[in-house]
């Protein structure tokens, strides 16, 4: 089972997808096991709420090429994107993870063994890190996601 990393960034305005990963057109199931988010903007006391949520259509974004954590592994079949100009079609109430974050802090989530968050082997179905609400000013937010394909 090959493991991959993706990273992306965008301004965390309300209802904006920072980074997404999906089964792509070759449809392969994936499991997210690590997420890290933070901001490189000048420190201030701004806060935001983020969700990792399932989607059924990946929207329009700038492509991000998944990088194999082991260089001996083949290229990923999954697709990913950042800075969405057209948001993915999110599944109502399919929130897999939710967190609140101050701009001055970095957030990390590690899946417990067997607790990875799965996206199905269905074309363009996946998971997106989306800013939901922003308190204060919107700032540049970057996220890194690690996942494996099965």
Give the gyration radius of the chain's Cα atoms: 14
Whole-model pTM: value is 0.94
pLDDT of residue 24 exceeding 90, the answer is no
Please give the pLDDT value at position 137. Answer: 86
How far apart CA 127 and CA 86 sit, in angstroms, is 15
Encode pLDDT of 74-113 as tens digits. 999 999 999 999 999 999 999 999 999 999 999 999 999 9
Encode pLDDT of 46-64 as tens digits. 899 999 999 999 999 999 9
CA quadruple 26, 94, 5, 38: dihedral positive or negative? positive
Confidence of residue 136 (pLDDT cuts 50, 70, 90): confident
| Cβ neighbours around 96 below 10 Å, total | 13
Confidence of residue 37 (pLDDT cuts 50, 70, 90): very high
What's the mean pLDDT when you consider all of the chain? 94
User: In this structure, are residues 30 and 118 in contact, taking their beta carbons and an 8 Å threshold?
Assistant: yes
Please give the pLDDT value at position 147. Answer: 97
pLDDT of residue 27 exceeding 90, the answer is no
């Amino acid at each position: 089972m090959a493991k991959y990393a993706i990273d992306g960034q965008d301004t965390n305005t309300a209802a904006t997808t920072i980074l997404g990963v999906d089964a792509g057109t070759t449809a392969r199931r994936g499991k997210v096991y690590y997420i890290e988010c933070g901001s490189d903007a000048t420190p201030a006391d701004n806060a935001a709420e983020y969700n990792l949520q399932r989607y059924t259509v990946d929207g329009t974004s700038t492509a991000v090429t998944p990088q194999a954590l082991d260089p001996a592994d083949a290229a990923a079949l999954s697709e990913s994107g950042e800075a969405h100009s057209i948001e993915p079609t999110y599944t109502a109430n399919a929130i897999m993870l939710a967190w609140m974050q101050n701009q001055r802090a970095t957030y990390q989530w590690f899946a417990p063994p067997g607790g990875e968050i799965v996206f199905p082997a269905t074309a363009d179905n996946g998971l997106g890190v989306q800013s939901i609400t922003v308190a204060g000013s919107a700032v540049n937010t970057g996220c890194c996601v690690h996942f494996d394909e099965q």
